[in-house]
Amino acid sequence: MHTARFAHLALILVLASVAGCSTLGVRPWQREILARPQMALNANPMDAAIDDHIYFSKEAASGGRSFGGGGCGCN
């Protein structure tokens, strides 16, 4: 009797967890909002370029944040 209840409860929990993940993702009508320039990771490209220049000038590394290692030749 308890095993049947446990099995039903487990089935309900599995179905609820699977159904909870069914709404993930971007809908076609939401893509327009996400494609706006304000939604970019770098909202102001000029500021990002200046920050990268300052970073790799101080670190003596080429490329700023996108390259590993420093100016000393070590990784």
Query: Residue range 15-27: average pLDDT?
Result: 76
Helix ranges, the chain (H) = 2-20, 31-34, 45-59
In a domain, 39, yes or no: yes
In a domain, 36, yes or no: yes
In a domain, 19, yes or no: no
Range of the domain at 59: 31-66
pLDDT of 22 reads: 67
The answer to whether 64 and 52 have CB atoms below 8 angstroms apart is yes
Domain count, the chain: 1
In a domain, 3, yes or no: no
> Dihedral of CA 44/45/46/47: which sign?
positive
In a domain, 49, yes or no: yes
Tell me how far CA of residue 12 lies from CA of 53, 54, 62, in angstroms: 55, 56, 55
Per-residue pLDDT reduced to its tens digit, 36-64 = 877 777 778 888 888 887 877 776 655 54
In a domain, 17, yes or no: no
> In terms of pLDDT, which residue wins out, 67 or 51?
51
